[in-house]
């Protein structure tokens, strides 16, 4: 199902975190390279590490270790690497900054009366301090991290859960994201999706995804929707 008639009828909006709200790639990439350095392994370019972002920290660590999007590293190697990554990422976490347009975009959506949530594949132990630390936590009535529910994006469960939380039909819940996993989750759930082009879609342009619109930044959401 694709929602191409604008303005889209929307009652509530859920927004992705990494690559949509916050530019977290520099800190994630630096943490991965510090991990590799500590393990005596060669550094990887930030561009390549950025292409590894989007499916949670476990996959980022696996990809940094293997140089492959889908390969599984030796289990003992992964178990040694993960806490090293986590130590560095905890130190760098709050250096991430909102993308241009995020704060005015959230303000405009809130002022227009839309209820807002955040859905991310980042685990809660990083999600909650990060949203608080950068001053975004108060915009969201619900925050679903990668380990809040039994499934995460691209599974539709976080979107279905959000629609139930807000008490709205799933087709009136809008997802704003930046990646294939966002698009797949929205289509599986049956809700509309708008994407921003500046995020972390594994190096692929979001225009190739099955989405309802691509917008330059969060301030461009409001003209495309109408309250339900």
- For the chain, what percent of residues have pLDDT higher than 70? 98
Q: In this predicted structure, what is the pLDDT of residue 3?
A: 63
Mean pLDDT value of segment 47-53: 90
Contacts of 207 (CB under 8 A, 6+ apart): 197, 214
Q: In this predicted structure, what is the pLDDT of residue 140?
A: 98
Read off the pLDDT of residues 123-143 as tens digits, 9 standing for 90 and up: 999 999 999 999 999 999 999
Pair (81, 167) in one structural domain = no
Torsion of CA 95, 143, 227, 195, to 10 degrees: 50
Instruction: State how far Cα 131 lies from the chain centre.
Output: 12
Span of 24-28, 35-39, 48-52, 160-164 with lowest mean pLDDT: 48-52
Q: What is the pTM of this model?
A: 0.94
Mean pLDDT value of segment 188-193: 98
Confidence of residue 55 (pLDDT cuts 50, 70, 90): confident
Q: In this predicted structure, what is the pLDDT of residue 142?
A: 98
Over 60: is that where the pLDDT of 1 sits?
no
Pair (17, 44) in one structural domain = no
Domain count for the chain: 2
Enclosing domain of residue 116: 8-23+96-227
Pair (130, 44) in one structural domain = no
Confidence of residue 2 (pLDDT cuts 50, 70, 90): low
Q: What is the CATH number of the domain that holds 84?
A: 1.10.150
Return mean pLDDT, the chain: 95
In a domain, 2, yes or no: no
- E strands within 77-179? 97-98, 115-119, 142-144, 173-177
End residue of a domain, out of 48, 71, 95: 95
Q: In this predicted structure, what is the pLDDT of residue 94?
A: 97
Given the residues 16, 18, 178, 212, select the one marked as catalytic: 16
R_g of the chain, CA atoms, integer Å: 17
- The CA distances from residue 224 to 113, 155, 195, in Å, are 15, 25, 12
- For the chain, what percent of residues have pLDDT higher than 90? 93
Pair (65, 107) in one structural domain = no
Active site residue 16: yes
* CA pair distance 3, 170, nearest whole angstrom: 12
In a domain, 3, yes or no: no
In a domain, 1, yes or no: no
Q: In this predicted structure, what is the pLDDT of residue 5?
A: 85
């Amino acid at each position: 199902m694709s929602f191409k008639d604008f303005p889209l009828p929307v009652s509530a909006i859920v927004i992705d975190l990494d690559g949509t709200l916050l530019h977290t790639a520099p800190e994630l990439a630096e943490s991965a390279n510090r991990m590799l350095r500590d393990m005596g392994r060669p550094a990887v370019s930030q561009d390549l590490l950025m292409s590894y972002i989007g499916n949670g920290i476990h996959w980022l660590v696996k990809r940094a270790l293997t140089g492959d999007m889908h390969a599984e590293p030796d289990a003992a190697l992964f178990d040694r690497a993960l806490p090293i990554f986590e130590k560095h990422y905890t130190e760098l976490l709050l250096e991430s900054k909102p993308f241009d347009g995020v704060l005015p975009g959230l303000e405009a959506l809130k002022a227009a009366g839309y209820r807002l949530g955040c859905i991310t594949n980042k685990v809660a132990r990083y999600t909650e301090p990060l949203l608080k630390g950068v001053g975004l936590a108060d915009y969201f009535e619900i925050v679903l991290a990668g380990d809040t529910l039994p499934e995460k994006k691209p599974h539709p469960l976080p979107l279905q859960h959000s629609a139930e939380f807000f008490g709205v039909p799933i087709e009136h819940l809008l997802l704003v994201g930046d990646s294939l996993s966002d698009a797949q989750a929205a289509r599986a759930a049956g809700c509309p999706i708008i994407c921003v082009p500046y995020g972390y879609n594994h190096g692929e342009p979001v225009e190739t995804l099955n989405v309802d619109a691509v917008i330059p930044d969060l301030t461009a959401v409001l003209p495309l929707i109408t309250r339900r």
